């Protein structure tokens, strides 16, 4: 039987086994909605910040 290498075990110990966290997966359902909402709110926040800087400069 094959066992994982000791190097991989050491990497998992250091990273907390987070290697699966960054795999490419398509968001579905609630995750997809939250990703879109976050992107929209980030855009709105940036635009408002720029507008406030322009207004303050006048």
pLDDT tens digit string along 3-15?
A: 555 555 665 666 6
Tokens matching residue 7: 């190097």
Domain ranges of the chain: 26-58
pLDDT of residue 14: 61
Give me 56's structure tokens. Answer: 């303050």
pTM comes to: 0.53
Chain segment 21-44, per-residue pLDDT in tens? 556 667 788 888 999 999 999 999
**Distance separating alpha carbons of residues 38 and 35, to the nearest angstrom:** 5
């Amino acid at each position: 039987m094959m066992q994982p290498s000791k190097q991989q075990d050491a990497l998992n110990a250091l990273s907390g086994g987070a290697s699966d966290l960054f795999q490419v997966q398509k968001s579905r359902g609630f995750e997809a909605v939250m990703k879109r909402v976050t992107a929209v709110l980030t855009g709105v926040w940036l635009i408002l910040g720029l507008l406030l800087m322009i207004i303050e400069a006048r």
